[in-house]
Structures are given as structure tokens and as C-alpha cells.
Structure 1
Amino acid sequence: MAVELGVIEGFYGPMWSWAERRRLLKTLAMHGYGFYLYAPKADPYLRRRWQESHPAEELNELVEFARLCQHQGVRFGVGLSPFEIFNHFNDAAREALASKLKVLDRIGVQELAILFDDMRPETTSLAGTQAEILRWVKAHSGATTFSMCPTYYSDDPVLDRVFGERPADYLETLGAELDNDVRVFWTGEEVCSREISPGHLKRVGDRLGRKPVLWDNYPVNDGDRMSRHLHLRGFTGRPAANAAYLAGHAINPALQPVLTAIPALTLAESYRLGPDYQYGQAFEHAARELLGDELASQIRRDILSLQDAGLWRLSEERREALAHTYDAYDHPAASEIMRWLAGDYQVTDEMVQTQ
């Protein structure tokens, strides 16, 4: 059974250029990825300053990207995080939201995702209010597909510690009150799940009354700790049998858009091969296709340093040696490794708290 694959550009930290975004889109479209949601946490006009419009130049880029998606046969969407709107969904909030939705319609948004993640609720009827917001959005948007991310998007108790204890029967209430065609994102048993199993997805689907869309937090590497590691290996812990319990599977990509395509291609291979999938072989296939034999072999030799050790545990001598090695390659993937070694992709706690 096949499952629709997609990208949710939903990480914290430095944003990609539009050229980087276009390159990744074209690569993944060729390998069966069917939707792309633009939702970087660093875009303030989708999150903390959502009531303001993007500058004209950024709007033009979004329009052009939407057209490219259409040309590539990929559904284009935007993830809008109207910051903590569920605490005060009043007339003023509705008026601002209506204005924002008109702008998104003009851009050419096909899928509109309303993202309630990483916000602290104060209302006593969280699920009901969020379902009400989705119904209102559907009535005022020209999008054809609607999705949402719950405030509690995982079983992970870290969400309760950071955002307050989740309401009883939150998922059941959300599933009962949302329209049946609204897609619901879920990250698994943890925010960054090591493994996602059919049994877990079936339980979540039963609670929601619909199959969830997996928001997979691999290969994302934002945050102070993760940004010190490159996530390059092929996907593991996502058996192809999950497809029976999913409405879609979207990856949250790494901060490095060229390198992120390596694991992205292995996910497609995982679903294609099913029980015959081998993550090491899949890495080899993807890396050689994207980077060429020589650079792919070099990264394979260095993967313990790049992914496992990370910048914290690399000696200055080892970092200098790696920089010397990758400086010899004229390839954007090597450039990303060079930038990572220089600390250009470091995500601070302040970024996470303010974006």
C-alpha cells in the first residue's frame, strides 16, 4: 500500500533561500513526493506577526514557488500559526484572520494548514475552540485541502511540562468536532520519535476517528543540541506497514536542504521496497544519485563524525581535517558541510523561544 509523501518545512532556525527551496522541491517531486507545506518557524508573518502581510518581494517569491509546485505536480500549502488565537478567538481575531486568508488565496495556496503547535493554551475548551477555528477557516478560505497540528501532537510528556497538562480526551474531542476531511498531524510517541509503529498509529487513528498524517521529525536537526549533528542516515523505525494507518507521511527537513534529500529519498525507497528495505543500502543509493560516487563515499566514511559525534565531540584538529576534505569538492552538499563545521547552522534556545 502506498502513502502520500510530503514535506513540512517547519523547523526553527535559519531559513533557506528560495533557490535552495526550489532545488529540493524538484528533487523530491521526481521521487514521488506529492505535497509541500511552507511553514518555517523563522517566518514571522506566519507565526508571531501573522496579522501582518509579507513584504512584496517575499509574496512574489511565494507566488512563484506555488506555480513551480503546480508545474511539478506537487500540492502547495502554507502552514499558518496564528499565535495563540485559540485563547481569544473574538471578532478582532476573525477580522485579522479573514484578511490573512485572502492574501493566502491570492498566493495560490492549495492546502492550508493551521498549526497550533508550540503555543500555551489558556482556554478551558481547547479542542472545541480549535475545531471551531478550523470550521471558520474552511468557510473563509479558497484552499481545497485543510489540515491542522494539535497543541498536543504527540504522547510525549515534554509537551505537558512545557505547555501545561493536556485536557482529558483532547484527541477524542478534537476528532469528534473537526470536519471529517480535515487532516490531523501527529509526530508519534515522542516529539522526535525513534520508532513509529502500526500499532501506535492505529491507536491514534482510533482516538481521532481518522488516519493521522505523520509529521516526521527526522531528518530535522533544529534546536541547540540537534543542530550540532547532521542527520544523513536512511530512515529506520518506519515500517512500510504504517501506510495502512496513515493519511500521509511528511518529513520535517534538516537545516541543510541539499543533504536533507538523502534521507528523504530513503523514505520513498522504504515504502517502495517494504520488507526488502535496507537503510544502509538506501543511503548508498540516494547519496550516489544526489552527490556522485566520490562525495557519497566520502560522506559515508565520515558519517560517525558528522551524525553521531557532532560538533560538540569533534576536536579542533578533526574539524580542520573535515573542512580541508570537503573544501576540495565543488558541490552544494559539501558547502553545507563546510557551513555546518563553521557553526553557521547553530540554533540557539533564544531562536526557539522567539520564533
Structure 2
Amino acid sequence: MRIGRRRQATAVAVAVIGGLLGSVSVAPAATAAPADPGRPAVGSADRTDSPRTPSVWPRPQSLRTTGPAVELGSQATLVAAPDADPYAVEQARALLRGAGVRTLHESLPGGGPVVRVGGSGAVEALRALRAPDRADLPSGGYRIAVGQVSGRATVALDGLGADGLFHAVQTLRQLIADGSVAGVTVRDWPGTAVRGMAEGFYGEPWTSEERLAQISFMGRTKQNRYLYAAGDDPYRLARWREPYPAEKRADFRALAERAHAEHVTLGWAVSPGQAMCMASDQDVRALTRKIDAMWALGIRVFQLQFQDVSYSEWHCDLDAETFGSGPKAAARAQARVAGALARHLEERHPDAAPLSVLPTEFYQDGATDYRTALAAELDDRVQVAWTGVGVVPKKITGGELAGARAAFRHPLVTMDNYPVNDYAQDRIFLGPYTGRDPAVASGSAALLANAMEQPSASRIPLFTAADFAWNPKGYDPAASWRAAIDDLAGGDADAREALLALAGNSAGSVLGAEESAYLQPLFDAFWSSRADAARRDRAADGLRAAFSVMRGAPERLKTPADGRLTEE
């Protein structure tokens, strides 16, 4: 009896997907056919129905099965190019050992299959395996091929730019199962050059341990930008002039070290507008000193935020004398500070990523006096952040992006306020990322999703946002949502059932979807079956199974994310 109930509970939990598919609203250009849960998901450019083709996330641009899997066995040979990314190589070693390789040679001839990581040897092996050429692969792109080269089982990985090889290893991790590497050929690249998340909510900032865990999550999901912009951190707000306490500085150093290893660029946002004389050279120098201090801690990209600045209230007489009053005056003042900071970064830290500015009018539509003045005065090196049309918009279209770009006349950083929940603190938003045109990903200088105060729970929607940003044209929100739950469950079937119930019951948000939609068909079936005892019993069993999963969820949710999810 228990076995039967357990199977039924699993089936009901999986039915969450059906509820979501019936209620999730997706921008037309991003819509994909619902994936069959029993069929592997592959890239949009090359699709195959072969059962041997594994699921890889973010969804590759091209992945196809080209031969049988390669058995790794008890020994293998890892050949890494001398200049190969050391973090990619180290992760490749760990993957092979985790797959059962007890003896790992690192020079030829060695023994067992050969795994080539970068360099001319990998390129030659890819050519021998008839993998598509590099051609126009952008930075961050990579190729993988698996098969036989000169009679020896071979896995070859090649990447472009600083991140490509690391991305290849993240895919290799998903190609290994049961001691074998799937016989596939992959040609893949990021659809959005800069993609990631912001810790920008108002509320209790994440702990150091939570941030470190989040950075590791970002690495395996191929995200490359983390912007620290905690809404209640005084050292980036009213007390921006002051250095962080020693403990916090140590936290930033540890975070930067982890980010470097996971190929994530660590960013820091400062919001000085409520406590700064913007016409004062002395205050500008104080700001550049704070930037230098953060650079020393490992920060490599910066954002100036002016979202709460008044058009008529200055914090010194010099500002009123210099800029006047009104939207145009505020724009000129903000542009002055941004320009000074951009020049400082170029002179002192030429390796820094471009500075961005979150303007006062970050969500409005079209040109305004403020936006026009800011566009005219802002340094050409500076990017402009926006959230779409609306603070938390249901949709962001390519047309809206084009309109904002025309108004600001600078590259745009899309700071998407999903799944952030600081405006609804009694809610968590666990539905997939929807309603964004592919053009928003490809047309943004960066695409960052603002996380919830609950970091581990945030991984479900953030996983789907990362999938969209990597391959916006091939994005399937329902399949991505399933994969996000699998990732957070970490292979624990009980945790997966509980997460399906939790996420299904928390799917509704401004983006769309109906809360607990998967339960409605079960209710309907029950009420419509009262005249038929057999149907009524089956319907009652379905409801009972669904609520049994929910009842057991608190205990089952103690496992994911090293137990942090339960506290959240």
C-alpha cells in the first residue's frame, strides 16, 4: 500500500508542471513547445530524439549525439594545455575522480581514455572527431567532442576567451553519468555576454556563507556577474565614505577569491546621492578613494545608483549654485560624478569592467527632460541601468529596450526585478523567468536578475533566468523550471517532490502564473466524481497524494542547499 501511494504521490508532484504550463505567460518570441519529461532536452540549433542524448543546462546552442558513450573506467589520462585555465583543469580532475577514475595520468601515453583540455591537442582531436570549426564563436564559447581518435577513446574540450574552457567543463559535468561520457558533439556560446544576478533587495543582507554558495551556483550555471547592492548596507549608502569593518573586508576578499575561481566578476554598487555634494571635488575624491578600497578587496565592476535622488533638494549650497534645480540639473550633477569616476577607473584600474549608472528615472518609458539631459552629459564609457518599463514589469519587449536605448543613447544594463520579493515579504516567487523577449538578452550590455532575500529558494527562478540569458531563442520555461528543481534537489528524489510542491504552490507573481494551479484539476476531478464511487476513490487518492507530499515537505526540504532552505 505504501509503495502504491508513493508512486501516486510522485505522479501528482510531477503534475505541478501541467499546472504551470497551463498558466505561465511567455513572450511570443521566447515560447517553445513544452518538453516531454521523458525526453532529453537539447539545444535549439540541433535537436535529436536519441535517448542517449543528455540534458545540459543552460541549454546549449547545439548539442547532438554522434556516437556511443565513452567508458571512463578506473584510469584515464588528462592532458591540459600549459596555458589552460587552472580552475577549469582542476574541476575536470575532480569530475573524473568523482566518476570513478582511480588512476589519473596527466601525460601521454598514460592509460585509459584521453581527456584533452585546451590547446592544439584538443583542436586536433576535435578536427579528427569532425566537430564544427571555431569559425565565429564569440568569447565564452566552447566546443566538445567525444569519440575515438586513432583508436583511442577521446574527450576533447576547447574554449574561447577567458571563460570558454571553464564553460566547457560545466557542460562536461553534465555529460558524465554512470562512469561514462555521452557520445556527443557540442558547439555552444553565451547569447548574452554579461549575465548574472544582483543582491539588491531591501532587508537582511545575505551572510558570507550564503554568498559563497551562490557564487558556486553561478559558476555551474555559467553566470558571470554578481552585483552586490544590498538595500540596507549603510557602507554603500549614507556611510559610503567609511571603510567597511575588518570582518566585512575579509568577507569581500573571500567572495572575490571564490568569484575568480568560478569565473564570476564581482561588482559593487554605491548610492551616495543622499549624502554627497556632487559639485565638490573633495567629495568626488572621497568616492574614488572608496572605489580604490573596494578594488583592493577584489571588486572589478562598479555601479553608481541615483534612484532616490531628489530633483530639488541638494545636500550643499554649492550644488544649487552649480547645477540649479529640476530634472536637468539632477542629470548634470549625476553625469559629473559618473564621468569623474569613469575617468578614475580608466586611469587607475584599466582592467575594470565598464561603469554603469542606475539613474533616477530607471523605469519610465521614452525620452524625458531628465533622460535627455543625462544622455547628453554622460561620459561615453558609462552604461545605463534600467529595469524595463515599470519597477517590476510583467513583460520586457525588444521594442521597449530599443526605446530606452534611444532615450539614454548608451549601452543598457537590464536590472530585472524578478524574483525579488522585498515589496511582498510574505511571498516567495518560484515560478520560471517569463515575459522577456530574446532581444532583451541579446540587446543588453548585461542582464541581471535581482534575487530574493532567500538565496537558496532564489536559485529556482535564477536558474531559469540564467538559462534564458545563455540561449534566449531556445529557452523553454517549463523544461528549465524542472531542471532548476532537479539542480536544487541535488539528486534527492524526496527533496525533488517537496520542491515541486513548494514551487508549484509559489508559482504566481507579477510575471504571471496562478498560485497552486496544479491542484485545481484535482479538485475538479473530485467534485465531478461524486456520483461514481470508483471515480470518486481515484480522485480522492489523487488529492490525498498531493496533500501528503505537502505534509511531508518540511522534513524533506531539510536536505537541499546544505539545509539552508528550511531556515529560509
Q: 1:148 aligns with which of 339, 344, 357?
A: 357
Deviation at 1:221, TM superposition (A): 0.7
Amino acid at match of 1:2: G
Contact 2:218 2:264 in 1 (8 A): no
Name the CA distance, whole Å, in 1 between partners of 2:234 and 2:441: 34
Contact 2:558 2:566 in 1 (8 A): no
Counterpart residue number, 2:430: 232
Name the CA distance, whole Å, in 2 between partners of 1:275 and 1:59: 41
Deviation at 1:74, TM superposition (A): 1.4
Contact 1:326 1:334 in 2 (8 A): no
Deviation at 1:92, TM superposition (A): 4.3
Name the CA distance, whole Å, in 1 between partners of 2:472 and 2:397: 14
CA RMSD of aligned residues (A): 2.7
Amino acid at match of 2:337: I
Q: 1:137 aligns with which of 338, 341, 350?
A: 341
Q: 1:128 aligns with which of 332, 352, 355?
A: 332
Deviates more, 1:56-65 or 1:192-201: 56-65
Q: Secondary structure at the match of 2:273?
A: coil
Deviation at 1:322, TM superposition (A): 5.7
Q: Secondary structure at the match of 1:133?
A: helix
Name the CA distance, whole Å, in 2 between partners of 1:177 and 1:189: 23
Name the CA distance, whole Å, in 2 between partners of 1:190 and 1:85: 27
Is residue 2:445 matched to residue 1:256?
Answer: no
Q: Which has a greater percent of helix?
A: 1
Cα deviations by residue, 1:170-200 (Å, 9 ceiling, x for unpaired):
2222222222221211101110011000010
Q: What is the aligned residue count? A: 320
Deviation at 1:251, TM superposition (A): 0.8
Counterpart residue number, 1:108: 298
Name the CA distance, whole Å, in 2 between partners of 1:192 and 1:230: 15
Name the CA distance, whole Å, in 1 between partners of 2:379 and 2:484: 39
Contact 1:205 1:245 in 2 (8 A): no
Name the CA distance, whole Å, in 1 between partners of 2:342 and 2:278: 19
Q: Which runs of no fewer than 5 residues in structure 2 stay unpaired?
A: 1-189, 313-324, 509-514, 517-548
Counterpart residue number, 1:353: none
Q: Aligned ranges for residues 266-305 of structure 1 at < 5 Å?
A: 266-291=464-489, 292=491, 293-305=493-505
Contact 1:171 1:207 in 2 (8 A): yes
Deviation at 1:126, TM superposition (A): 1.1
Amino acid at match of 1:50: W
Q: 1:326 aligns with which of 554, 557, 568?
A: 554
Q: Secondary structure at the match of 1:297?
A: helix
Q: Residues 135, 260 of structure 1: CA spacing in aligned structure 2 closer, same or farther, 3 A cutoff? A: same
Q: Secondary structure at the match of 1:228?
A: coil
Counterpart residue number, 1:316: none
Is residue 2:436 matched to residue 1:247?
Answer: no
Counterpart residue number, 1:53: 243
Deviation at 1:56, TM superposition (A): 0.7
Name the CA distance, whole Å, in 1 between partners of 2:367 and 2:274: 16
Amino acid at match of 2:461: P
Q: Residues 195, 148 of structure 1: CA spacing in aligned structure 2 closer, same or farther, 3 A cutoff? A: same
Counterpart residue number, 2:377: 177
Deviation at 1:325, TM superposition (A): 2.8
Deviates more, 1:115-124 or 1:27-36: 115-124
Deviation at 1:57, TM superposition (A): 0.8
Q: 1:186 aligns with which of 386, 396, 417?
A: 386
Q: Residues 118, 169 of structure 1: CA spacing in aligned structure 2 closer, same or farther, 3 A cutoff? A: same
Cα deviations by residue, 1:127-173 (Å, 9 ceiling, x for unpaired):
111111011112334441211100110017xxxxxxxxx99432222
Q: Percent identity?
A: 27
Cα deviations by residue, 1:82-106 (Å, 9 ceiling, x for unpaired):
1325664324423432332231232
Name the CA distance, whole Å, in 2 between partners of 1:55 and 1:49: 12
Amino acid at match of 2:382: V
Q: How high is the TM-score relative to the length of structure 1?
A: 0.82
Deviation at 1:336, TM superposition (A): 5.5
Q: Secondary structure at the match of 1:327?
A: helix
Is residue 2:2 matched to residue 1:2?
Answer: no
Contact 2:278 2:334 in 1 (8 A): no
Q: Residues 131, 9 of structure 1: CA spacing in aligned structure 2 closer, same or farther, 3 A cutoff? A: same
Amino acid at match of 2:274: E
Counterpart residue number, 1:202: 402
Amino acid at match of 1:327: E
Counterpart residue number, 1:346: none
Contact 2:191 2:441 in 1 (8 A): yes
Higher RCO, 1 vs 2 (CA within 8 Å, ≥6 residues apart): 1
Counterpart residue number, 2:257: 67
Counterpart residue number, 1:217: 417
Name the CA distance, whole Å, in 2 between partners of 1:279 and 1:21: 26
Amino acid at match of 2:559: H
Name the CA distance, whole Å, in 2 between partners of 1:299 and 1:334: 14
Deviates more, 1:65-74 or 1:183-192: 65-74
Amino acid at match of 1:176: A
Larger-gyration structure (1/2) = 2
Deviation at 1:68, TM superposition (A): 1.8
Name the CA distance, whole Å, in 2 between partners of 1:188 and 1:273: 20
Contact 1:266 1:286 in 2 (8 A): yes
Deviation at 1:5, TM superposition (A): 0.5
